Amino acid sequence: MKKSNAFITGLLLVGLAFTPEHAIAQKADKGPTIAPEAGWEVAPPPTNYNPTLKQKLDQFTNKYNLGTEAIVNPIIVLDPGHGGSDPGAIGNGVQEKDIVLDTALRCKTYLLANYPATVYMTRSTDTTVSLESRVAYANNVGANFFVSMHNNSYSTSTPSGLETYNYYGSTNGKALAQATYDKLKASYSVLRGVKEAGFYVLKYTNMPATLGETGFVSNPTDAANLASPSFRQNLAVQYAQGMHTYWWGF
């Protein structure tokens, strides 16, 4: 995802200097202020969005090891961002859509080989998928949680590092964002934190959801890492291990 020029202007107006590690306060229902998601303002909610169910699942505690109603085999939806006619962020010879698709495919393989889970993907090839279609699909399969994978970009090459997001005030979403962040951070020297945002895929998924921004393609070091298959394999495993911590508790 690409940073907003409006954000830069806002910083200049209030006299603040941008630092990669600085966590900017977000305002609920105003959309993201530092990593705009294309179409978030105009895309309608999917018809199967259920705010009552979303609230219920956000408070759900009977996971694998927490009671007789525990769900042993969770349904996970992986969401590689962008795709097809939408390349996402581009820089230093890499495209976001390619990086996140490969990472998600590797993550699915690892999950299925190591954990009792059912795993779906919003796209498994280089195809264009709308925000509404991504979320409607996750809601339709009754996912227990949703993980959207992205890379970041900026107008200069300085910013770098890792950040994950959850929807404003989401209890389980924050736990999921934190669990994946805690595993992914082993691959990064710059840690930008776990944040809140109004991204469409976080707002309209009925289940707890997180969105990961694993490095800046505009930063030469991050881009070189993301271009490496072994680095993407590490990210895939770390994402999966974070999901395991979130659901199974260890």
Residue of 37, 132, 163, 213 marked catalytic:
213
CA–CA dist 226, 44 (Å, integer): 33
Q: Amino acid identity of 68?
A: T
Instruction: In whole angstroms, give the CA distance from residue 237 to residue 109.
Output: 9
Strands 209-216 and 90-91 come out as unpaired
213 catalytic? Reply is: yes
Report CA torsion sign: 86, 125, 137, 183: negative
Question: Catalytic amino acids?
Answer: 213
